[in-house]
């Protein structure tokens, strides 16, 4: 066995950081750089804040990974998990087996769906949910006798996960390079980001019209008989918190109906109140045939995700499975009883505390305060978002809307300054900083978060001026 490399001088040989460096392969991490820098080790959390091993406290501005909707403590969810573990710690859903937490959760999701849905399939992550949706789409068209109708269109900068299929749907270069992705049959259309993609003299509605026309042309060029589905987040998350312009989804959906193309709404980030409505689909006027969700489904206390399908999709799945004798898809932990019990309790808490309305109220405050504090800042090109999800994009040239060279890692530097100011920040492609705090954040905590972030931006601006990299 090859011994691990020696610990960085900054870390003691037996410290948690050194042990992490020696043994952990971190997701979304520069592995070589990590050997030198080491991890930020989080040891506790309460409300919207987390604490590191040195006792320093931070506001978690992105709720972990857009997911800890109820924050980092909730005794009701702990009790729900504990009670279910004592009652039935595990059972599967294969071959028609079931249990009450899964049944109740499926009922609750169908009741809350943004459009009429028929059935719910459970998985363990957003990636698995989107991967499952893609398999369903292929299966459905085979069952309907349309074996050529298999191509799927997603969008550049969209994010749908990291399995082989879902990473192919994702439209970000880092998810494709060196992975031999995307797989065949996955296409990407343009990003609905007016700030960068709009043309001179073009209105936002004209921009939406052009994108719909480009999608129509793509489908016609590929052959409508070969295009099966369109995947879209209501608001793009990891690609930059990109809010589509008004009328965008109205016009996109008209194209999809014209060519009998299914719409899949990826609600992994947007669902459960994040955009100010229960579903991002409601905020953006989407009427999906398939809806995927995860993250806030259990407030991320335990892994669980879901795929909701309408009756038309389900009937084709049912017919195909009857012909074969089974529907050959599922996971050992599909609808895991403990995860499902925690998700049931999570949805009850959302209802009882009216957290969707709270998110809409504090989200409006966050949007306003970010703009008031930063819209005119020389380092900020755009503040964008809706509800309790936002992004602040850093630019070198405001007039030209030009970002800094990626090699300067300007957003990464701001993340480090954020930590110095008591914030955990998330840098996104294009030097954007995301905001997606727990839904339970208070107005006072929003004010504190924005003020601390503003100080970090000011500090970064001062650094850049000293280095001769001041914005234009």
In a domain, 282, yes or no: yes
119-123, 146-150, 398-402: lowest mean pLDDT where?
A: 398-402
Q: Do the domain assignments include residue 96?
A: yes
Q: Are residues 305 and 371 in the same domain?
A: no
Whether residues 55 and 90 share a domain: the answer is no
Same domain as 386, residue 256 = no
Same structural domain, 168 and 229: yes
68 and 205 part of one domain: no
Co-location of 364 and 257 in the same domain: no
- At 272, the pLDDT band (50, 70, 90 cuts) reads very high
Question: Across residues 355-376, what is the average pLDDT?
Answer: 98
Q: Is residue 361 part of a domain?
A: yes
Q: If we measure between CA atoms, which residue out of 246, 239, 180, 263 comes closest to residue 208? A: 246
pTM listed for this prediction: 0.95
Please identify, among 352, 377, 394, the residue that sits at the C-terminal boundary of a domain. 352
Q: 151 and 129, same structural domain? A: yes
- Tell whether the model's pLDDT for residue 393 goes beyond 60: yes
- pLDDT above 80 (res 3): no
Give yes or no for residue 248 having a pLDDT over 90.
yes
* Rg (the chain; Cα; Å): 23
pLDDT score of 470 = 64
Query: Can you tell me the distance from the alpha carbon of 246 to that of 205, in angstroms, rounded to the nearest whole number?
Result: 6
Which residue among 337, 352, 367 closes a domain?
A: 352
Spatial distance between the Cα atoms of 286 and 242, rounded to a whole number of angstroms: 16
pLDDT exceeds cutoff 80 at 472 = no
What mean pLDDT value characterizes the chain?
96
Predicted pLDDT at 406: 87
- Whether residue 8 has pLDDT greater than 70: no
Residue 116 and residue 311: Cα distance in Å, rounded?
8
At residue 97 the predicted structure's pLDDT band, cuts being 50, 70 and 90, is: very high
Query: What confidence tier does 407 reach under pLDDT thresholds 50, 70, 90?
Result: confident
**Domain count within the chain:** 2
In a domain, 347, yes or no: yes
Confirm if 151 and 328 have CB atoms less than 8 A apart: no
Question: Same domain for 110 and 139?
Answer: yes
Q: Beta-carbon neighbour count of residue 122 at 10 Å?
A: 26
Task: Give dist(CA 66, CA 271) in Å, integer.
Answer: 11
pLDDT in tens, 421-468: 999 999 999 999 999 999 999 999 999 999 999 999 999 999 999 988
160/236 same-domain check: yes
pLDDT for 2 beyond 50? no
Structural domain contains residue 29: no
Q: SS3 for 357?
A: helix
Percent of the chain at pLDDT above 90? 95
455 with 324, same domain: the answer is: no
* Domain containing residue 420: 40-72+355-466
Query: pLDDT-derived band of residue 471, with 50, 70 and 90 as boundaries?
Result: low
Same domain, 213 and 339: yes
Alpha helices (runs of H) in 260-393, residue ranges in sequence order = 280-284, 311-324, 337-352, 355-374
pLDDT above 70 as % of the chain: 97
CB-based contact 439:388 (threshold 8 Å)? yes
Mean pLDDT value of segment 170-195: 98
Decide if 34 is inside a domain.
no
Asked whether residue 92 is domain-assigned, the answer is: yes
Q: Is the peptide bond before 182 cis (omega within 30 degrees of 0)?
A: yes
Q: Give the three-state DSSP class for 187.
A: strand
Last residue of a domain, one of 352, 378, 393: 352
Interval 319-341: pLDDT, tens: 999 999 999 999 999 999 999 99
Residue 10, pLDDT > 70, answer no
Is residue 90 in a domain? yes
Q: What is the mean pLDDT of residues 238-254?
A: 97
- Here the contacts of 359-363 (C-beta below 8 Å, separation 24 or greater) are 359/273, 359/274, 359/276, 359/387, 359/388, 359/439, 360/273, 360/276, 360/277, 360/387, 360/388, 362/388, 362/441, 362/442, 362/443, 362/446, 363/275, 363/276, 363/387, 363/388, 363/389
* CATH number of the CATH domain containing 417: 3.90.1150.10
- 280 and 387 co-located in one domain: no
CATH at 201: 3.40.640.10
**167 or 6: which leads in pLDDT:** 167
Dihedral, CA atoms, 105, 108, 112, 114, nearest 10 degrees? 50
Helix axes 443-466 and 355-374, enclosed angle (nearest 10):
30
């Amino acid at each position: 066995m090859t011994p691990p490399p020696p610990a960085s001088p900054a870390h003691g040989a037996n410290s948690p950081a050194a042990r992490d460096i020696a043994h952990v392969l971190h997701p979304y991490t520069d592995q070589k750089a990590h050997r030198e820098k080491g991890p930020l080790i989080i040891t506790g959390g309460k409300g919207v804040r987390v604490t590191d091993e040195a006792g320093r406290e931070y506001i978690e501005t992105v709720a972990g990974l857009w997911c800890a909707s109820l924050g980092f403590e909730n005794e009701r969810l702990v009790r729900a998990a504990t009670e279910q573990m004592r009652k039935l710690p595990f059972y599967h859903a294969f071959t028609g087996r079931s249990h009450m937490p899964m049944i109740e959760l499926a009922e609750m999701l169908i009741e809350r769906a943004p459009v009429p849905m028929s059935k719910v399939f459970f998985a363990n992550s957003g990636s698995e949910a989107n991967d499952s949706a893609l398999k369903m789409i292929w299966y459905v068209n085979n069952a309907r006798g349309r074996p050529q109708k298999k191509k799927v269109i997603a969008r550049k900068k969209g994010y749908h996960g990291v399995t082989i299929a879902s990473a192919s749907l994702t439209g970000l270069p880092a998810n494709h390079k060196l992975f031999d992705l995307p797989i065949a049959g996955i296409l990407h259309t343009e990003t609905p980001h007016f700030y960068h993609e709009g043309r001179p003299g073009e209105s936002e509605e004209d921009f939406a019209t052009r994108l719909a026309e480009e999608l129509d042309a793509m489908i016609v060029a590929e052959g409508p008989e070969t295009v099966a589905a369109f995947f879209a987040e209501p608001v793009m998350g990891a690609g930059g918190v990109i809010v589509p312009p008004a009328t965008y989804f109205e016009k996109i959906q008209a194209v999809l109906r014209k060519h009998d193309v299914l719409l899949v709404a990826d609600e992994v980030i947007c669902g459960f109140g994040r955009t100010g409505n229960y579903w991002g689909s409601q905020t953006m006027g989407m009427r999906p045939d398939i809806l995927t969700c995860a993250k806030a489904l259990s407030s991320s206390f335990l892994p669980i995700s879901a795929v909701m399908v309408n009756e038309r999709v389900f009937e084709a799945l049912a017919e195909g499975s009857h012909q074969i004798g089974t529907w050959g898809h599922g996971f050992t932990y599909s609808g895991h009883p403990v995860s499902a019990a925690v998700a049931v309790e999570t949805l009850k808490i959302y209802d009882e505390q009216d957290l969707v309305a709270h998110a809409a109220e504090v989200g409006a405050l966050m949007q306003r305060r970010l703009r008031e504090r930063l819209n005119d800042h020389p380092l900020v090109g755009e503040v964008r978002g809706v509800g309790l999800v936002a992004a602040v994009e850093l630019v070198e040239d405001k007039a030209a809307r030009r970002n800094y060279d990626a090699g300067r890692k300007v957003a990464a530097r701001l993340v480090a300054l954020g930590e110095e100011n008591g914030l955990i920040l998330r840098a996104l492609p294009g030097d954007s900083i995301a905001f997606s705090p727990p839904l339970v954040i208070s107005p006072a905590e929003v004010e504190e978060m924005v003020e601390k972030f503003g100080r970090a931006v000011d500090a970064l601006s001062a650094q850049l001026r000293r280095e001769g990299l001041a914005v234009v």
